[in-house]
Structure 1
Amino acid sequence: MNRKKSLTLAALCMAALATPTIAQQGGGMMAFVSEWDMNGDGVVTLDDFATRRGDQFEMFDLNGDGGIDAEEQANMAQTIAGMQEVNHGGQGHGQGQGQGQMGGQRGPGPRIHAAMTAAYADTDHDGVIARAEWEAATARLFADLDANGDGQMGPGDFGH
């Protein structure tokens, strides 16, 4: 991968990954919904969530081969860590310690980031997160985040 593509993807990733972190900082549920509600109906459904997560997959599949290999996973982890560092000023708040409306482990950010790892998504343990594995992880994550099971994410799913 060349440096220009790397920098462009890093900028795109910052936009896609910022919302869970912003939500933890105090941007609240409205910031999360604003970024993840892809059709603008005011709620985050599985379709919305799958679209945003699909965008993330595309950003991190740097060579476009349909899988996120070990090098791309390292890039993804570094990008997430960098976003947490930028948004939390190096105070260690990137691991769900934020104090905003969706702060701490109750908000979606830490779980969304955790689901972007091989430990969560590489179910065949071959070292590559295939698109199908990412999509299955997306559905599993949505079900986990939709605590009340109503098919959409809202404040009630995060203890608010």
Structure 2
Amino acid sequence: MKYSVFIPVICGFAAALACALPSQAQGTADASALLSTADLNNDGLVTHDEFVTARSGVFRNADANASGGLDPAEFTTALDDRLKRFSNRAFARVDANNDGVVSQAEWDSARTRAFDKLDSNNDKILSSEEISKAGR
């Protein structure tokens, strides 16, 4: 349980941010989902660039009014069902300037911190082992 609240973002991949860790069984499924979604070149690894590229689509899809920012309702739609109960707390954590909107820059910053937490050897690549650790 040493991982921050950002680990479920990576594991759930459909989630924007979360404040609870998934169960081990869910974590294993989430790790597989992350690899299949973010491993753009199918080499069994997720590089930082692959992660950022894949996650950008989540922000764009959640920004229903194409304003370039997520209001609390749009932010909640980016969370998967098991994380929605944490949406207010997660939103406040990501909305760094407290303006009531999560900008693309704030979104990007939060997910980079999440990636960095999982990248235990700091090589800017997530191995399947590093991703799997998040579910434990």
TM-score by length of 2: 0.65
Q: Counterparts of 2:76 and 2:31 in 1: how far apart (Å)?
A: 29
1:61 aligns with 2:71: no
After the TM superposition, which residues 4-153 of structure 1 pair with which residues of structure 2 at under 5 Å, given as runs?
Answer: 17=14, 24=26, 26-27=28-29, 29-77=31-79, 80-81=80-81, 84=82, 117-153=90-126
- Whose RCO is larger (CA < 8 A, sep 6+)? 2
Following the alignment from structure 2 to structure 1, what is the Cα–Cα distance between the partners of residues 14 and 106?
Answer: 20
2: CA distance, partners of 1:139 / 1:153: 12
- How far apart in 2 are the matches of 1:139 and 1:129? 15
Q: How many residues align?
A: 112
The root-mean-square deviation of aligned C-alpha atoms, in Å, is 3.2
**Structure 1 unaligned residues grouped into runs of 5+:** 1-15, 85-93, 96-112
Larger radius of gyration: 1
Deviations 1:87-131 (A, max 9, x none): xxxxxxx79xxxxxxxxxxxxxxxxx98xx323321111110001
Structure showing the higher helix proportion among its residues: 1
Separation in 1, partners of 2:32, 2:26: 12
Contact persistence 1:29–1:154 (CA under 8 A): no
> TM-score when scaled to structure 1?
0.56
| Cα distance, 1:132–1:53 mapped onto 2, change above 3 Å | same
Equivalent position amino acid for 2:101 in 1: V
